[in-house]
A and B are shown apart, each in its own frame.
Chain A
């Protein structure tokens, strides 16, 4: 069974630009979550999508948005990039049960904002 696939693997952008990251979950998984990982703040929850609907959202500004398609693939978008957005962005999928579903992570997209 193929794992969670995130593209691109690396990305370099300039302040003010916008970026779209893509995530393909494990087949049969309906929930996709996004996390931001930085050395200073660690892993922080961005949002979760289930059956094309945003189910939960973390404490991030509106510049961070996402969506999920009918095939469960998900994208996240960051507009008006800031230097502080440089991070490893991790996508994780699960079967979607409310409690106790282990997350399966992709290898992430490393975003560098210059």
Chain B
């Protein structure tokens, strides 16, 4: 079953704008990760945020985590055409049980 639910399912913005994607989950977690998938290819790990962290940055990426609301957001600033992809949040409940639980993803389209 899917634990993470991304919102929106699809997002289309102009190049240079910021893109924000949200993820909600249901059970307690040890960490939450964001991955990117280009069409028909494997997933690429973007960033990991632990349950005791509230915000993390990596280049143009900013991730926030609110464990009280069981939600996370991924912000991509100054978007580029190459950012066009599907973005997935994945939760790790700890102990490795059930592997990572992925949401169904947000499909981001950057219009040139």
Contacts and interface: CB of A to CB of B under 8 A. Distances in A.
The binding surface of chain B is classed by DSSP as loop
Contact of A42 (B35, B42, B105): B105
Interface in B37-53: 40-45, 48, 50
Interface stretch (A13-21, A61-69, A77-85, A97-105): A97-105
A107 interface: yes
A43 B41 contact: no
Contacts of A102: 33, 45, 48
A48 B99 contact: yes
B62 interface: no
Contacts of B35: 103, 105
- What range describes how many residues of B lie at the interface? 20 to 34
A98 B33 CA distance: 15
Given A99-B30, A100-B92, A102-B48, A90 B42 contact: yes
12 contacts: A43-B88, A56-B96, A58-B98, A92-B43, A98-B94, A98-B96, A100-B48, A100-B50, A103-B45, A104-B45, A107-B42, A110-B40
Interface of B: 2, 30-31, 33, 35, 40-45, 48, 50, 88, 92, 94-105
